[in-house]
Structure 1
Amino acid sequence: MKRNTSAAKAIVCTVVLWTIPLLLAAQRSVPKLEDLPRRAIDTLDTDDSNIKIVIFTNNTWCYYYPDLNERMDREVYREHWVNDRVFAYTDIQLKELPPVIDLQLIDRYGDFHAPAIGKVFSKYGTRGRRRHQGVDIPLSVGEPIYAAFNGKVRYARYNTGGYGNLVIIRHENGLETWYAHLTRCNVAQDDYVTAGTVIGFCGNTGRSRGAHLHFEMRYCDQAFDPEHLIDFSTGDLRYQTFALDRSFFSIYSRASETLEEEDDYDESLLAVHSPDGELTSEDILENIESTTQAAIKQEQAKTDPLYHTIRRGDYLGKIARQYGTTVKRLCQLNNISEDAIIREGRKLRVR
């Protein structure tokens, strides 16, 4: 009896050992839905007549742009278009750029996607003796990095200059966005991408001390603080259109200096109520008179010369914003050019 039991167990074990490989092979032979033949079966419209959605038989889909060839052949993607080096505008100097560049950033919702969301731990500006021409956002290795706007990939490769795996996208308004230290690039040069496309994954390649995204914004190779346009803590775009002042290309031009400015409201111009809470006709007349006199004195003060003593870190654009004027007006008042070097301690007439 014991001999029959042992024989039965041996048979069961043998069957199991032969069955498991067969089951695994059968499981491997069942194709995933995504691996089935991919044939287009339907096209759906979107709110944008130039963007459609194609549905495929294997339960996948993609965007389709009927005007894609026209988009990719625009002049902005032909002039100064190079794939083998990071700087494409070596023949254009800063002084040749207009004083203000009007940038149309988006036309509709969906034209922007934050490249990453997080606290900026290293801001645009000087870092010791080096120039830090972008912002650093700490992330985990492998986190997806997104294209900020629609555009065409100009550069996507490993950069030996310190950026590591680097993707550069040029956008239709001429702006370029740089995404550095990626663990790998997810796009190739000359690809057309839309806002929100995963163009790579966070890494620690190149000259980097930890996993993070180094993100830059440039116009004609000139870098400016990306925080002028993006709130990285929320992932929001600050403007639909943006006036890019040439002074912003200075390494000392920090967005925080502009964004932290607040409007001051003169509450004394509000109506004055009598002690019992009722507003009499005499109160109204007195308030009108005092308000008028205050306005006259204010206008007279505007005509008096006003001077600003230059401090370290000052530049024409910053001073102009501080006093509500323009760089052009400052140059006229002081008989200087927009490229003039202003030295610490000098008095500059601002009104």
Structure 2
Amino acid sequence: MNFRYLITVSLLFVLTATTLHGQSRRRRPVVPATLHIEDLPQQPLDTLATDDPETRIIIFSNNTWRYYRPALKVRDSLPVYMQHWDTSQVFAYKSIAYEDLPSVVDLNLVKDLSGFKAPVVGSVLSKYGPRGRRNHNGVDIPLKIGEPIYAAFDGKIRYAKYNTGGFGNLVIVRHENGLETWHAHLSKLNVKVNDYVKCGQVIGFCGSTGRSRGPHLHFEMRYCDQTFDPEFIVDFQTGQLKYQTFALEKQFFNIHSRASEILEEDDDDFPLLASAEGDTASGDILERIAAAQKKEEQQTKTATVSSSNAVYHTIKQGDILGRLALKYGVSVSQICRLNNITPKTVLKLGRRLRIK
């Protein structure tokens, strides 16, 4: 009797243990073979202050972070960030004809110098303007692969993705004054569309994607899709901003600048910029840059000699730019451009201004 009882109890114990073990195995969580940080739960843990009062940094539980700029969100209602806001195509102002643009646009660039940082600093290898039978709508600056590219001014990202028209990885930043800055051939993007960026923020890294013959930054400035020479505004060699307010005349635009979305970078005369391994520009390239700079200096000297017919005016009491423009039959913006001044520049007595 006791023997049968022991056998029965033993069988029940074995069956129960087997059942529980099977349930335990079925309930064990499945752990992925490779666990990525972005797969972990992302809960905000803390915020950190930055040098910019408008910007804080949020620290998340999965060891990631991002900028937090609540003050910038109020700018969503600005017309410049609502009208002609196209995040899928490079050209956003196709409904605005060149003929409809004003003769002069006063671009208020910065309140002070803290509002600007050069996207990169370096020698301009290929300038804005005609390149053979084509137009070159920006400037090219050779760099190492992976060098950071900065936002020149505060703004909002309108376009950030790979472009099949030749730009490669392209970031377009629209700024509050309507100016857009284009950054092409990037190896990696550091922003996404509709992000707000601050001056000096890294928006991407130099590369050689798209139609490119070596790592460099192709940089453009556009207003209503129309290009103009970025060197009017930025000295890339020194990284300095030339103007606080710039009188952008309609005649500065390349009227063919938006005839095609294809980036024409493949001229046979365009030299190989640098090796794909990320080296700096080779000695041959540096020689080409030096030769181009020497040629430009010679052209400047020639232009100086040929400017013997230039008209100058010495500032006297009561002189203002508007009166001088009327007196000599020129525009205020022309006087500003010839003398590297702005309409707000204080004219000192005795200063000699070039008028024509």
Query: For residue 214 of structure 2, what is the aligned residue in structure 1?
Result: 210
Asked whether the equivalents of residues 72 and 192 of structure 1 are also in contact (C-alpha less than 8 Å), the reply is no
* TM-score of the aligned structures, taking structure 1 as reference length: 0.59
Provide, for residues 226-263 of structure 1, a one-character-per-residue CA deviation record: whole Å limited to 9, x for no partner. 000000001111111111011110379xxx89x99889
1:193 partnered with 2:194: no
Query: For residue 174 of structure 1, what is the aligned residue in structure 2?
Result: 178
Report the 3-state secondary structure (helix = DSSP H, G, I; strand = E; otherwise coil) of the residue aligned with 2:115: coil
Report the 3-state secondary structure (helix = DSSP H, G, I; strand = E; otherwise coil) of the residue aligned with 1:67: helix
Report the 3-state secondary structure (helix = DSSP H, G, I; strand = E; otherwise coil) of the residue aligned with 1:91: coil
After superposition, the Cα gap between the structure-2 partners of 1:69 and 1:318, relative to the gap in structure 1 and judged at 3 Å, is closer
Report the Cα distance in structure 1 between the residues aligned to 2:111 and 2:147, rounded to whole angstroms. 28
What is the 5 A alignment of 1:69-108?
Answer: 69-108=73-112
Report the Cα distance in structure 2 between the residues aligned to 1:73 and 1:159, rounded to whole angstroms. 28
Asked whether the equivalents of residues 57 and 68 of structure 2 are also in contact (C-alpha less than 8 Å), the reply is yes
1:242 partnered with 2:266: no
Report the Cα distance in structure 2 between the residues aligned to 1:241 and 1:321, rounded to whole angstroms. 12
Report the 3-state secondary structure (helix = DSSP H, G, I; strand = E; otherwise coil) of the residue aligned with 2:130: strand
Amino acid at match of 1:69: K
Query: For residue 9 of structure 1, what is the aligned residue in structure 2?
Result: none
Query: For residue 131 of structure 2, what is the aligned residue in structure 1?
Result: 127
1:110 Cα deviation after fit: 2.4
1:42 Cα deviation after fit: 6.4
Report the Cα distance in structure 1 between the residues aligned to 2:74 and 2:124, rounded to whole angstroms. 37
Report the 3-state secondary structure (helix = DSSP H, G, I; strand = E; otherwise coil) of the residue aligned with 2:252: helix
Report the 3-state secondary structure (helix = DSSP H, G, I; strand = E; otherwise coil) of the residue aligned with 1:168: strand
Asked whether the equivalents of residues 40 and 54 of structure 1 are also in contact (C-alpha less than 8 Å), the reply is no
Report the Cα distance in structure 2 between the residues aligned to 1:161 and 1:211, rounded to whole angstroms. 17
Asked whether the equivalents of residues 188 and 205 of structure 2 are also in contact (C-alpha less than 8 Å), the reply is yes
Q: Percent identity?
A: 55
Q: Cα RMSD between the aligned structures?
A: 4.1
Figure out how many residues of one structure are paired with residues of the other and give that number: 241
What is the 5 A alignment of 1:268-287?
Answer: none
Query: For residue 122 of structure 2, what is the aligned residue in structure 1?
Result: 118
1:67 partnered with 2:71: yes
1:232 partnered with 2:236: yes
After superposition, the Cα gap between the structure-2 partners of 1:52 and 1:176, relative to the gap in structure 1 and judged at 3 Å, is closer
Report the Cα distance in structure 2 between the residues aligned to 1:217 and 1:89, rounded to whole angstroms. 14
Report the 3-state secondary structure (helix = DSSP H, G, I; strand = E; otherwise coil) of the residue aligned with 2:199: coil
More displaced, 69-78 or 209-218? 69-78
Report the Cα distance in structure 2 between the residues aligned to 1:92 and 1:318, rounded to whole angstroms. 26
What is the 5 A alignment of 1:1-351?
Answer: 44=49, 51-53=54-56, 64-250=68-254
1:66 Cα deviation after fit: 3.6
Provide, for residues 90-130 of structure 1, a one-character-per-residue CA deviation record: whole Å limited to 9, x for no partner. 11111111110001101233211110000001000000011
Asked whether the equivalents of residues 58 and 67 of structure 2 are also in contact (C-alpha less than 8 Å), the reply is no
Asked whether the equivalents of residues 53 and 61 of structure 1 are also in contact (C-alpha less than 8 Å), the reply is no
Report the Cα distance in structure 1 between the residues aligned to 2:202 and 2:193, rounded to whole angstroms. 14
Report the Cα distance in structure 2 between the residues aligned to 1:220 and 1:242, rounded to whole angstroms. 16
* TM-score of the aligned structures, taking structure 2 as reference length: 0.58
Report the Cα distance in structure 2 between the residues aligned to 1:228 and 1:321, rounded to whole angstroms. 9
Report the Cα distance in structure 1 between the residues aligned to 2:337 and 2:80, rounded to whole angstroms. 31
Report the Cα distance in structure 1 between the residues aligned to 2:236 and 2:249, rounded to whole angstroms. 21
Asked whether the equivalents of residues 226 and 255 of structure 2 are also in contact (C-alpha less than 8 Å), the reply is no
Report the Cα distance in structure 2 between the residues aligned to 1:201 and 1:118, rounded to whole angstroms. 15
1:75 Cα deviation after fit: 1.0
After superposition, the Cα gap between the structure-2 partners of 1:321 and 1:62, relative to the gap in structure 1 and judged at 3 Å, is closer
Provide, for residues 282-315 of structure 1, a one-character-per-residue CA deviation record: whole Å limited to 9, x for no partner. xxxxxxxxxxxxxxxxxxxx99x99xxxxxxxxx
Asked whether the equivalents of residues 224 and 251 of structure 1 are also in contact (C-alpha less than 8 Å), the reply is no
Asked whether the equivalents of residues 157 and 197 of structure 2 are also in contact (C-alpha less than 8 Å), the reply is yes
Report the 3-state secondary structure (helix = DSSP H, G, I; strand = E; otherwise coil) of the residue aligned with 1:81: coil
Asked whether the equivalents of residues 124 and 251 of structure 1 are also in contact (C-alpha less than 8 Å), the reply is no
After superposition, the Cα gap between the structure-2 partners of 1:46 and 1:140, relative to the gap in structure 1 and judged at 3 Å, is closer
